[in-house]
Amino acid sequence: MNSINPFIDLIPETTETLTPSNRFPAAGHLWSKPEIDALIFAFAARRPLLVRGEAGSGKSQIARAAAQHLKTGEPLVEVIHPRFEALDLLYRVDVVERLADAQIQDLDKTNERYVKHGRLWDALDQMNNNPERIPVLLIDEIDKADADLPNALLDVLGNRSFDVPPLNNRTIHAPDQRWPLIIITTNEERELPPAFIRRCAVLNLNPPKYDKDDKPFIEWLIQRGRVHNHLIIEEAARQTAAEQVLEDRKTAEQAGYPKVGLAEYIDLLTALHELMQTTSGKAPHKSQLDWLNQIRPYALVKHGEQKQARSSVTPSASTQAKAD
């Protein structure tokens, strides 16, 4: 297997254009230096990368961008939910199918038919079928599960293998003790066990602070919106949308509500692009700024008290001048 770290050649502030698929829409990813350095370390240390940050900050997109950079197709994805069981990531036994076969006297006593692969097993199979392949496994929102899930992964992450008792304790592992690139995200709604965090490389992914200056946060949004180059957006609309996101974000924070951010900003740009494409010739002409003020409350105002405070904001004089 090629031992060269595949992320060393990534250059900060360059764009990864993400092609659409059955699962994912078209998008763009702007590589930051912390993301690149974290991936270089995680790959070299053969550790999963735990990406921490607020909801909608682009954590899971790192897995998609990394998979495209590695040319291994889409990442394998496991979205965690409160009823997710620890073993589901490795395997599960289809007891219903097994019982049905027993009733018709067609029981597979080896259990091969009833043991279904989890996403981690799928990733290891890909590596065993093609040792040059480096699959990417995304374990999304691990904080949705209780502590049983990360605790159950401790031994697996430490040994880079796991046993399957229903298959006579067969050991599942990757070739040469290599390991898939595992990216785990958390919105930090629940604290993860310290022992689990120690097994991971950790990337803290949060937008710039704006307590003293709004400009870095607004520029951060605009830069990440611009890499979605399939969206045709006027510069004045990009600027105004970013200012609106920040204003509603501050209002939510003051009221103690969850904050809007990058995800809502991209939603606004996507809607503006679609509206300009689909309403041409079918409705009175509206500029993107007109549409932005019309739809803004439904994208950004997530709570009743905010809605009572205002429903739209007029673009600033400087932004309007750019539009003119």
| In the chain, where the domains are located | 15-204, 215-323
For domain 15-204, give the CATH number.
3.40.50.300
For residues 265 and 32, give the distance between their C-alpha atoms in angstroms, rounded to a whole number. 19
Q: What mean pLDDT is predicted for residues 262-276?
A: 94
Q: Which two tokens stand for residue 150?
A: 């990360």
C-beta of residue 7 within 8 angstroms of C-beta of residue 39: yes
- Residue 53's CB is within 10 A of a number of other CB atoms, namely 19
Task: Tell me if residue 231 falls in helix, strand or coil.
Answer: coil
C-beta of residue 265 within 8 angstroms of C-beta of residue 241: yes
- Tell which residue, 75, 77, 7, 69, has the closest CA to residue 38: 7
Rounded to whole angstroms, what are the CA distances from 261 to 35, 54, 221, 252, 267?
19, 9, 8, 11, 10
Q: Give the model's pLDDT for residue 136.
A: 97
Give the pLDDT band (50/70/90) at residue 131.
confident
Please tell me the total number of residues recorded for the chain in this structure.
324
> Packing angle between helix 262-278 and helix 288-300, nearest 10 degrees?
140
Q: Strands, E, within the chain: which ranges? A: 15-18, 27-30, 49-52, 76-79, 91-93, 115-117, 136-140, 161-164, 170-173, 181-186, 201-204
For residues 207 and 217, give the distance between their C-alpha atoms in angstroms, rounded to a whole number. 7
Q: Give the model's pLDDT for residue 302.
A: 81
C-beta of residue 225 within 8 angstroms of C-beta of residue 238: yes
For residues 203 and 35, give the distance between their C-alpha atoms in angstroms, rounded to a whole number. 7
> Which residue is listed with tokens 């990733």?
123
The residues near 246 (Cβ < 8 Å, ≥ 6 apart) are 210, 214, 217, 218, 221
Q: Which two tokens stand for residue 3?
A: 């031992």
Q: What is the 8-class DSSP label of residue 168? A: T
Give the pLDDT band (50/70/90) at residue 305.
low
> What's the pLDDT tens digit per position in 59-92?
999 999 999 999 998 999 999 998 898 899 999 9
For residues 247 and 313, give the distance between their C-alpha atoms in angstroms, rounded to a whole number. 10
- Tell which residue, 238, 299, 292, 305, has the closest CA to residue 56: 299
* Lowest mean per-residue pLDDT among 38-52, 104-118, 233-247, 302-316: 302-316
Q: What mean pLDDT is predicted for residues 235-239?
A: 96
The residues near 220 (Cβ < 8 Å, ≥ 6 apart) are 207, 208
Task: Tell me if residue 218 falls in helix, strand or coil.
Answer: helix
More reliable by pLDDT, 262 or 311? 262
> What's the pLDDT tens digit per position in 147-200?
889 998 999 988 889 999 999 999 999 877 678 999 999 999 889 999 999 999
For residues 288 and 235, give the distance between their C-alpha atoms in angstroms, rounded to a whole number. 10
